[in-house]
Structure formats: C-alpha cells, structure tokens
Structure 1
Amino acid sequence: MVCSFFTGIGVDTTAREAFQHGYHQIFVEDAMTAVTEAEHQYVCTSIFPKIGQIRTTEEVMKQLTQP
C-alpha cells in the first residue's frame, strides 16, 4: 500500500521503482496529496492505474477489517 505527501514526486517515484521489482501496489488516493489538485489527479488517473490499484482509505479499511 502506497501513500505519502507528494503524489507526483515521492509516491510516483517509489511506485515506479516498486513496479519494476514486481510489487503489487494499492494507491490510497485520499491519503496523499500534491502541490496542486491537477497534479494529484493526473498521476492518480493516468499513471497509477497502469501500475497498481486505486483505492480510498475507507475501501482499504473495510478490506483490512473483514474476517
């Protein structure tokens, strides 16, 4: 699961490297942000879907708490 402060810098760079190593990734869209909303949306809609799954905090928490 990947989340951080800068969607287009820290998260994106880490995610691309993790993808190259074969990691299955979940991007918690509402647990990260960027300098601008446009940057955040671009990365979340154009890049992340190609290298992992996009989820919300609520969706992740629901999956983690299911028996």
Structure 2
Amino acid sequence: MSGVTYVTRDGDCLDLICFRHYGRSSGMVERVLEANYGLAELGPIYPENVEILLPDLPKPKVRKEINIWE
C-alpha cells in the first residue's frame, strides 16, 4: 500500500493527524486504522515515535453548488 509515513510526537491523536493530512477526519480515521494493524490498541493519545502509514486515498467528490441568483 502506498502512502506517507507519519512519525508521532508525544500527545498526537489520530483524528488530528488525519485532519492535518487529509483535510478532514470523518471517514479517514477508520481508513488509517485499517491500514495500520494494531494501532487501535495504543489508545487515543500516542507516545512519541510511532510510525503511522497514511495511505493514499481518493479525494472526496466536490458537489457543484447552484446559486439561484446565477
């Protein structure tokens, strides 16, 4: 699986790591946990120097907004 390896700093949490990397955490946390066996057992706050694979994931589809004044 391709992606980027992130090395944690003391006190990092996965939802914030996902938000910084992907621009959102909703749905991304689950995908990162799937790509990193055993990561969930470390709990919500990580110690320093944990390597986490942030897999390449497709960008979300952007819906075109329609403005009634256009």
Larger Rg: 2
Superposition TM-score, scaled by structure 2 size: 0.29
Task: Name the one with the larger strand percent.
Answer: 2
Task: Name the one with the larger helix percent.
Answer: 1
Superposition TM-score, scaled by structure 1 size: 0.30
Instruction: Give the structure, 1 or 2, with the largest relative contact order (CA under 8 Å, sep 6 or more).
Output: 2
